[in-house]
Each structure stands twice: as structure tokens, then as C-alpha cells.
Amino acid sequence: MMSEMMMKLDKLDSIEDKVKSFEQDLKSVKDSIEFAHAEVNDLKIDNEERKKMDEQTRDEETTPIIHKLLEEKMGMKDATKNIKIDRSHRLGRPKPGAKQAAANCRKVQLSPRQRDYTSECNDTKRNKYRNRGTIPSRDC
């Protein structure tokens, strides 16, 4: 009788240990869920702040940005003088972290003479990259 009682007490102790282990595991899962919820809330707040900080304005001048892009990235000398841009505008919102000139494509209409000039510059620029073994990707 005494040995039976001891066996039952041992079983009870092992059950108690298992319950404590499950409680600890449950507590750690609960803590990780609370942490994840806090992270989600922080990300929501950051996202809302970024939406409010849209730097795009109605008076944004895209023409000088395009001329700068043509001169620096495409190697066209005096693009400001040689290429007349009648109308240019931003397509879409600016991308966070992207360079201002290459953030979004801009619509530009060129005359046939200007198209010839730009194609010559493009060929020169591409040949420069081909000699290195890499061809630049187009942003627009």
C-alpha cells in the first residue's frame, strides 16, 4: 500500500513538472506575441508618418532635374542649351531612398533633331559600358 502511494506521488510530481514546463513555454509564446504586436504598431506609426511626409509639390520643377540627368548620366554636353523640353512632369510619387534624378520616369517630348542628338550620346555612353563588359540599365 505504501509503495502504491509512493508511485502515485511520483506520478503526481512528474505531472506537476510537465504543467510547469508548459506554463513556461506558454509564457514565452505570449511574450513573443506581445513583442510582435508592439513591432506591428511601431511599423504602422512609421508608415503613417512616411505617408504624411510626401515631398512632392505642385510647384516641383522637373525640367532642371531632367537636364541634370541627361548631362551627368547620359553624357550629353550642354543638354540645357541643346535640348528644349516643352513639358515635363513627375509620374507617380517619389520613392523613398532613391536618387532624386532617377526616382521616377519623366515624360519628355523631343523634336527629330534632338532625338538624333540623344541617340548619338546614348550610343557613345553604351559603347563605353560595353567596353567594360556591362551595359547600364535604363531608369525610364
Nearest to 110 by CA among 81, 83, 139, 76: 83
Tell which wins on pLDDT, 108 or 65: 65
What does the domain layout of the chain look like in residue ranges?
35-85
Task: Specify the pLDDT at position 50.
Answer: 78
Mean pLDDT along residues 53-63: 66
Task: Specify the pLDDT at position 20.
Answer: 97
* pLDDT for 54 beyond 50: yes
Task: Specify the pLDDT at position 73.
Answer: 80
pLDDT digits (tens, 9 = 90+) for 59-72: 677 788 888 888 88
* pLDDT for 116 beyond 50: yes
Assign 117 to helix, strand or coil: helix
Tell which wins on pLDDT, 118 or 85: 85
Task: Find out whether 56 and 75 touch, Cβ atoms under 8 Å.
Answer: no
Task: Find out whether 74 and 129 touch, Cβ atoms under 8 Å.
Answer: no
Task: Specify the pLDDT at position 48.
Answer: 85
Tell which wins on pLDDT, 90 or 3: 3
In the 8-state DSSP scheme, what is residue 92?
S
Task: Specify the pLDDT at position 2.
Answer: 86
Q: How far is CA 16 from CA 24, 59, 70, 78, 79, in A?
A: 12, 72, 75, 83, 81
Distance CA(36)–CA(72), nearest Å, equals 45
Task: Specify the pLDDT at position 133.
Answer: 44
Task: Specify the pLDDT at position 30.
Answer: 97
Instruction: Flag whether the pTM goes above 0.85.
Output: no
Helix (H) / strand (E) containing 111: none
